[in-house]
Amino acid sequence: MILLVAVIQWRSGGMFLTGTVLTQLTQNYAYTMVLSFGMFLVLLIGGIDISIGATLALSGMSTSLLMAEGIIKNPLLAFLFSILVGTICGCIIGVTITKGKVIPIIATLGLQYIFRGLTYMVSGSKWVSSDQMLAGYKSFAQGSFLGLNNLFWIVIVLFVVMLVFLKWTNFGRQIYEVGSNPDAARISGIRIDRVKITVYAINGAIAGLAGAMYTSMYATAQGNMANGAEMDVIAACVIGGVSLDGGQGSVTGVLLGATTIAIISKSLSLVGIDAFWQQALKGAIIAVAVLVNVIVQRNAARKALEGREI
């Protein structure tokens, strides 16, 4: 990452490592970092969530509509309601996968269209504009504390919570066990379905939080919000060392992976690359990074197997 930042700083003529750009980076990509934490938990149990962007959109739109109607009059209540909507979406996903016996990628792909369709339906395919939102809700994303943007403080707090949750709680350890060896986890008495439903519910809650962050930052709500965000989020996790097979990864690695995605996205516009080529180059860089990470993981696993005594 240090090399990447050095190259970008050189190519941008020294414009990258400035206070303005770094502030924009921590503000504009905070919601992506938050989404990555939720996806990380899902990948740990051997699952995946293609609908995470649609969950964000439905949560953010529902909250914005209630503000526009004057039903929600408190910014904190707006954030909590968005989290509630996301949690409900996550529970639906978890139950569909565990009780419906649908594989995660198919279940979340289908629910992605359902959640996105509901977003357009409840909004009547219209936007919620800035003047329809609470002033305190909009100003939260622009505010700062101790020199850091408020949205990035959410990233920091959630990062610490995730560290403690995964390392020092019994349920956090169960998540790793379910992902690394489901059969052994079941034999040891772990209720696999309960763990999976809870993880998807937490992921949904985090997506709902990201929905509030997104609409607070942009001061608008649209049906196509965060369309395609799931690809950046999955890439951030894999770049950060999370195994797509489950049971392996760290929250620190995920934060570094999400930061890498944010740096790549911001730097391509800084150096004046055309919008079309920005997407193409970003995709190529992510693909190479993910490929390298997968190769490293497989080589490490192979060496571990070879080193075992028979």
The pLDDT tens digits of the residues spanning 230-274 come to: 988 998 998 888 988 888 899 999 999 998 888 887 777 766 667
Q: Which residue has the tokens 């490929």?
A: 291
Report the candidate in 78, 86, 120, 118 with the shortest Cα–Cα distance to residue 216. Answer: 78
Greatest Cα pair distance in the chain: 69
pLDDT in tens, 273-309: 676 776 787 678 667 877 877 787 777 767 766 665 5
Beta 144-145 vs 148-149: how paired, if at all? antiparallel
- Is the pLDDT reported for residue 82 higher than 80? yes
Cβ neighbour number for residue 173 with a 10 Å cutoff: 13
Q: Cα–Cα distance between 199 and 42 in angstroms, integer?
A: 6
Residue 158's H or E segment, with its range, is helix 150-168
* CA distance linking residue 240 with residue 158, whole number of Å: 17
Right CATH for 2-302 from 2.60.40, 3.40.50, 2.40.128, 1.10.3470: 1.10.3470
Closest CA to 158 of 74, 39, 22, 28: 39
Model pTM?
0.89
Please give the structure tokens belonging to residue 113: 């269209």
